[in-house]
Structure 1
């Protein structure tokens, strides 16, 4: 595995002892660790585009972990977050989990518990990245359709028959069949249900 492929665990904790302890723990299992004492330090740093997760203390000198979670979400930065805190309460935990946190650990916690959650978070991140990659490929295929093929695809996934599509577009049924075949070929759809799933992922609104 190349350096770029080694997952990165970001750690934000103003407690130097805790930060260094987690950093060493992460690197002991052959993962890359990057540590910060403040949220701003993390936000200002350059991050490689690879599998990652964030171990985040709830209370920081410059902001709260929950506020940073919201800031990252607004910025479109999708990174699985593991909260750690010495004084968790139920409302705080519920808010963090509802906003997409992977886990909420209360100090002191077992090292193995943290490692288990980190590995789960990294699996989650890999899954998200794979879906994003697949969607980008789908959008690329969709971009190769002509305007007419786009219309035909919209009508096909809406459930219209070839003769109905022909009537809708003022074209012959034979022409519709040709366009439909090209749509299936360009989108690499194996069946109509497959094409419908693709349209759903592309958020193409069915024709009414």
Structure 2
């Protein structure tokens, strides 16, 4: 299934047909007549998509759009279109977090390339977040003692040091360490440390 592009076009647009252009290039679209309309039904960002919005509207709408999308937990990339004399609003949009900004009329090829790029970035971010969610879920499978071993190993402690810290034997530590690697689907200590770093766990580890 092709990616979905949310298109917000006001009635004053000097370059009508953005929705049709995007569909002609193979994307599915959902059209909105105003910023209020898309804000009343915040798009689901579970699948790769982006938002193209015509910001030829009151200045206050731009920061409000990004603020409300953010508060709703949406991380969809937003591409803004603005009138040729409305650069200030475009700058406000970029500062607010827009993925890209174009003054109208914009070349069709440029807009589609920007949409392709935004959707590719969102797809990559979604895949990474999916891997992180899976890793966090696997972390919950560890027993209390396995988690203690995990926390010491990611700090660079050797089996002997882990055994001393936990008051157990190296053999027992090796068994726990094997279970940790098995449950987290990790094959090496380097991968283990890398996983902990991605999850933000090293920030809480003692030096």
CA offset at residue 16 of structure 1? 5.9
Specify the alignment match of 2:205 in structure 1: 206
**Aligned-residue offset at 1:31:** 0.8
Total equivalences in the alignment? 203
Q: Which segment drifts farther, 76-85 or 95-104?
A: 95-104
- Tell me which residue corresponds to 1:26: 22
Give the SS at the match of 2:142: coil
Q: Distance in 2 between matches of 1:181 and 1:23?
A: 54
Task: For residue 88 of structure 1, report the CA deviation from its aligned partner.
Answer: 3.9
Unaligned runs of 5+ in 2: none
Q: Give the one of 48, 51, 61 matched to 1:51.
A: 48
Q: Distance in 2 between matches of 1:38 and 1:82?
A: 15
Q: Summarize the Cα distance change of 1:61–1:33 in structure 2 as closer, same or farther, 3 Å threshold.
A: farther
Cα separation, partners in 2 of 1:44 and 1:83, compared to 1, 3 Å = same
Q: Which residue of 1 aligns with 2:138?
A: 141
Residue in structure 2 matched with residue 176 of structure 1 by the alignment:
173
SS in 2 for 1:167: helix
Cα distance in structure 1, aligned partners of 2:160 and 2:6: 57
Corresponding residue of 2:10:
14
Q: For the aligned residues, what is the CA RMSD?
A: 2.2
Aligned equivalent of 2:87: 89
Task: Report the Cα offset of residue 19 of structure 1.
Answer: 7.5
* Superimposed CA distance per residue, residues 106-161 of structure 1 (whole angstroms, 9 cap, x where no aligned partner): 11111111111111111111111111111111112111111111111011000111
Partners of 2:102 and 2:73 in 1: CA distance: 25
Q: What TM-score results when the alignment is normalised by the length of structure 1? A: 0.88
Aligned partners of 1:20 and 1:88: how far apart in 2?
A: 17
* 2:38 alignment counterpart: 42
Per-residue CA shift, 1:26-70, capped at 9, x if unaligned?
111121111112222112237453211001122436952232112
Give the direction of change, closer, same or farther, for the CA distance of 1:200–1:8 in structure 2 (3 Å limit).
Answer: same
Cα 1:118–1:38, aligned 2, differ >3 Å: closer, same or farther? same
Please give the alpha-carbon distance, in whole angstroms, between the structure 2 residues aligned to 1:134 and 1:18.
Answer: 42
Once the two structures are superposed, residues 91-113 of structure 1 have per-residue CA deviations (whole angstroms, 9 ceiling, x without a partner) of x5455334432211011111111
| DSSP 3-state at the match of 1:56 | strand
